[in-house]
Structure 1
Amino acid sequence: MLLTAKTFLLNLLLVFAPLGIMQILYLLKYTNLLKKSSGWLLALFPLLSVILCMTYPIVISDNFILDFRRIPFILGALYGGKWVGLIYLIVLLSYRYLLGGSGFYPSLYSFSIATIATSLISAYFLKLDLKKKLLVVAAMDGFLGGFGTFVSLTFFNSEIELSMWILFSCISVIGVVLATLIYEVFINQFKLLHSVMEGQKLKVVSHLAASISHEVRNPLTVSRGFLQLIDSDLNDREKKGYMKLAITELDRATEIINDYLTFAKPYPESVERIDIISEVKHSISVIQPLASMMNVSINAKIDLPSAYMHSEKRKFQQCLLNFSKNAIEAMSNGGTLTIQIARKDNELKISIQDTGVGMTKDQLSRIGEPFFTTKEKGTGLGMMVSHSIVKGMGGELMYESEPGIGTTVHLVFQVENVN
């Protein structure tokens, strides 16, 4: 009995040991030191646990052995998705076949069914709260253990004491619950770390904006005024062209400074009652010339009655124009810009969809960061400001994107009650 307890603990240790390495990888991922390969590396270590558990099993009899491989298998398949689960299944069955014995067939049946089940519920599982996740993994572990044991005892003349099976099943359920808790803790821990790091970046930019925006904008405005006066007295066409270019560049510099100033003060300064539907229609009329120039057609689906909220009209317009302009510029070879509004009770969702280049998951995770942009000549300030405006208005931002297909941004706001 003592020997069995030791082998139980050893096998369980092989489940938890790789979680420490995964913690280091998550740290590298959320500090942007490990990007492209991080997903595959994170999926590799649960698979390592599977192989180690099978290499050092709990031997019950000559033709019946137990191990805790199902714990890392369940975690990896549920958190990694269907392709990770399929890879796990292929590796697990290949290695089990090489080990020999009749135990291959119970593994084939039970883990194949488990792979199908996890692939179907993986996306839904990631959206569950912690309590429901623990119930799902415990149920999945119980199914794998029960079904595998049933097949072994019924069709392959295996023998196992009832007390041993109960002990193993209890330890396995406790193990999968603990492993899930650890996994959730360090995922949330490093998400918090990432958000703190981003918060520090935004804080620095905010302080910088508040301290220098006014001081820089004032001399730019004065310089522009004198340049206009000089321009009015010039007769040389070439020099007038140079002067016009200088004024244009001063306007561009002022616009960047205004972006900084908006970021420093994203919350509405002069609150008024605005009609969201009317403002969206206005933004479409403003952006239409740029769309025509870029060979982009606008498909507007905004046939809804007026919807009102209290905010600052100018900043709301700036936010809509930034998102629409970015969508158009993402379609350098032309395409379709779809602007759609949907309402459910007091929640109004504005969807701006393009058919442009799209973004990767890594790019999506960084959108809105200071100075991050996918455009060659962009600064990233426009998106940073837009995110700040939406947040200041109490709104919510969501993105959907696929490389080569396009991007959709959803802006969700709370509006007044329907009369």
Structure 2
Amino acid sequence: MKELIMNLLLNILFIMVSVLLYYSFWLQQERKLSSLKVPLHVVYCLITTVLCIFFSTTIEEGIRLNLQHILILVTIFFSGRLAGGILFLFMNIVHLFVGGNDAIASVLATTIIYISSILIYTYFQRMRIIQQVLVSVFITFFSAFICLSLFLDKEETYHARYELIVFYLFEALGTALIMYLIMVLKSQNEFQKRLIHVEKFQLISEMAASISHEIRNPLTATKGFLQLLEGDDICPEKRKIYIQFALEGIAQADEVITNYLTFAKPTIEEIEELHIQQELHKTINLITPLANMSNVSIQFASIDEELYIDGEKQKLNQCFLNLLKNCIEAMPTGGALKIHVGKKLNDAYITIADNGVGMTDEQVRQLGAPFYSTKEKGTGLGMMVVFSILKAMSARLNIASKKNEGTTFTLVFPLKDV
């Protein structure tokens, strides 16, 4: 009796662990491995089936008592009829391969469960949780009772009556417990999806409001300067100034749109070999006019070794540009922007340091959060783009900052295998 109870408890444990492993793995990889859902579930259940058969208790006429048949029910109701059919086929092959006096009984039990589950599949999905649990318990109990009644006569049933009572009890409780566990996991998964969906819509609405504001301001200014250009009495010098202001407004709006598009689609599409030092030099050349206007000197240093990474040129330059621009804007009275390129093991290290206004620990933790900015009129979109690009390139960003002393950004990129 002790052996039977121990084995039945182990059977329940195996099935519960299988369910938890499947759901924990599937929730993380659902989008990437959607085509593998059915085979993955079948593999988990087959492994669990073998474990349940191995930890069985033999009674009269070589009948082995275990809870493997619960898996058929679980698979059909929660992974679909196709997965259930595949598991039904392979499970019966396992039964016939293992053999024994109860092979036919096991095949009959799985057949009863399979047919019953298929017949009520549509109605089952509409039932409440308590109804689903009760129906599941009835199906497994009914199949086990029919099979044991057919393969055990009255005398054998009487001799094994206590074992059978314990088995029926464990099968009912085990089915109820496992089905309830799966329903809880499934409802949590659906709730999490709804929550993410709501957060996405909220983020989109906030982003739309912020982006429209950031674009409207420079375009309104540009429109004003263009209207001034309509006058015939404007001297050439003023005309040139108005054109310059109008172009700056368009460039500002273009920058906001570029950041938004990069954030909306951060995946690396055109992977190529990138020379880190060369790409940094290009970005420095682009940002130098802004640095000169802000009285900021740029100091660049690098190791002699040429470092290469895999990535998309446009997105990498966008990442560098956003960081350098933020550092320059953090030094309103001027200062020094130091950039250093180094290597450690199989990673390239890029250090970007300013001696500007700096940030508190709380501000550092908030960087990259939607619409968080340390600037009074900032949207935070620039740093959101930086974090999304680095994540897409499997890179890391470490930030160290002290208020009124400056900030150091350390970018870590995995080097390309030579």
The TM-score with structure 2 as length reference comes to 0.49
Say which one has the larger Rg.
2
The TM-score with structure 1 as length reference comes to 0.49
